[in-house]
Structure 1
Amino acid sequence: MEINRYIQAIEEHIAELRVRNVMAIQDGWDFFVLEVNRNWIFRFPRRQEGLSQLEKENRFLSEWSYRLPVPVPRYRWIYLQATPSFAAYPKLSGLALNPRSIPEDSRNCAQELALFLSSLHRIPIPSPREVHIQNWKLKYEKFHTQVQRQLLHRLEEGGRVEELVPLLIGISQKRVR
């Protein structure tokens, strides 16, 4: 059963969290969602595109969640390289917005939604040049991490620099593709 696989991934990567109860939330198209211990939401991408979506969400929410007038998810754990990949945040209080959950006197709900959308629309959109610079920086930060992980530990184990050049060339060629 897929839920058991997800629980195993949670327990494997998050030692401080003991999974006591789990409820599957079947509404998501892009993610399989679990509510864990009634206070954590875990999102598992159903497809490969979900990984990049999680990365984008995390970058956006990390920078902007504190400036929005309503509670939004703030990821606590993100494991994009895990199998299966997942991210988790503390459960938000309240009800999901749907026709059944909107009170008859929906003015307060409409005002909150309007305030949220207004705040969201005030967020500056970066120019394509800024996005390119950010992507370039991210690309080389990942490259640096890969070099550290694959090369430096070999040097520490007594490897010679001359022996590592082919490995470095292999890493850089992978980055170009």
Structure 2
Amino acid sequence: MMVSVNINSIKEYYPDLEIKKIQVNNEGWDHEVVIVNNNLVFRFPKTNHTRNKMVIEEFLLKNLKRISTQISLPNYEVIKNDKGIPVFGLYKYLKGHPISNIKYKEPLKSDTNAKAIADFLSALHSLNYYPLKKIGLDCTYNREYWTELYNKIECILFKYLTQWQQEDINNLFDNFFNNNLYNHYKPSVIHGDLTESNVLIEKSKVTGIIDFTDTQIFDPAFDFAGFYWDLGPEFTQKILKFYHGKENINNLYYRIKHFYGIQPIFHEMLHHLEHVGNFNIQDFMEKYNNYRCM
């Protein structure tokens, strides 16, 4: 039903658009994505919270695109109704496939890709966040967010884990909550969701980055978490060699290695328990243990 409503919205605002092919992706938490003719991407917000963030995303991308980067970004435009309320976002389809679609990832871990990612992150993290703050950009990943995540882990996941695993997760979060390195970072504008689903690849080369819905003002180390978890510590360190940030790289890497780069596993496990049901948690914990021992 929602798909047909959204297609009707496209026809209403673009009556001259000849629709020959439609692809729909409804799996994301924030948007239903409708791709028309392999050329135009329409993003329909699923919640009012996401709707409110669309204007921030548009403003951010327009400012970020002024900074030279070899990675393509959406040329994002928010379409509003006559009351000024965002209806959908629109941009031209970016070439490439998400890293998540690629089974063998070793060719992606090149110096060329590391530098491209580092240049993008250097540009993003150097943005002046005060203009964005004025239109509503804030910090979602605050202490309350992480406390809520830990409580979910304790209530939902702990019953599947050994006592040793529970104690180790307790130590992980205890270090995060109490180590001053996590409290004295220099706040930056971050992407907030640089997972392998939002990084595009073509012929083993990083070509684009999409979905800035979770953009916020937070610890820049968080933006390396997806690369650490999905592509490993060595490639993350390679990115950091080309990265030009505002603080000591060793402190940045400490926060990645000892918390941000590991915490994606908890989101994955909670997601599987909610949506998949039958899966082997110990398979996830094996990777977790390997990363904790590095």
Q: List per-residue Cα deviations over 1:93-137 (Å, max 9, x = no partner).
A: 11223372674221132222111111111112217xx955x68xx
Is 1:12 aligned with 2:12?
Answer: yes
Is 1:78 aligned with 2:79?
Answer: yes
Structure with max Cα Rg: 1
**CA–CA distance in structure 2, aligned partners of residues 21 and 64 of structure 1:** 31
**TM-score, normalised to structure 1's length?**
0.64
**What is the aligned partner in structure 2 of residue 119 from structure 1?**
123
Retained in 2: the 8 A contact 1:76–1:90? no
Is 1:41 aligned with 2:45?
Answer: no
Q: Secondary structure, in 3 states, of the residue corresponding to 1:17?
A: coil
Relative distance call for 1:67 and 1:101 in structure 2 (3 A) is: farther
**CA–CA distance in structure 1, aligned partners of residues 44 and 12 of structure 2:** 15
Deviation at 1:62, TM superposition (A): 1.9
**What is the aligned partner in structure 2 of residue 175 from structure 1?**
none
Q: Secondary structure, in 3 states, of the residue corresponding to 1:50?
A: helix
Q: Secondary structure, in 3 states, of the residue corresponding to 1:71?
A: coil
Q: Which runs of 5+ in 2 are unaligned?
A: 137-294
Relative distance call for 1:2 and 1:53 in structure 2 (3 A) is: same
Is 1:96 aligned with 2:134?
Answer: no
**CA–CA distance in structure 1, aligned partners of residues 42 and 129 of structure 2:** 28
Runs of 4+ aligned residues of structure 1 deviating over 4 Å after TM superposition are 80-84
1:34 maps to amino acid: V
Relative distance call for 1:64 and 1:13 in structure 2 (3 A) is: same
**TM-score, normalised to structure 2's length?**
0.40
1:72 maps to amino acid: L
Is 1:110 aligned with 2:111?
Answer: no
Retained in 2: the 8 A contact 1:7–1:19? no
**CA–CA distance in structure 2, aligned partners of residues 90 and 39 of structure 1:** 6
Q: Which runs of 5+ in 1 are unaligned?
A: 136-177
Kindly report the root-mean-square deviation, in angstroms, between the aligned alpha carbons of the 2 structures: 2.7
Deviation at 1:73, TM superposition (A): 0.7
Retained in 1: the 8 A contact 2:58–2:77? no
Q: Secondary structure, in 3 states, of the residue corresponding to 1:23?
A: strand
**What is the aligned partner in structure 2 of residue 22 from structure 1?**
22
Deviation at 1:91, TM superposition (A): 0.5
Q: Secondary structure, in 3 states, of the residue corresponding to 2:61?
A: helix
Deviation at 1:37, TM superposition (A): 0.8
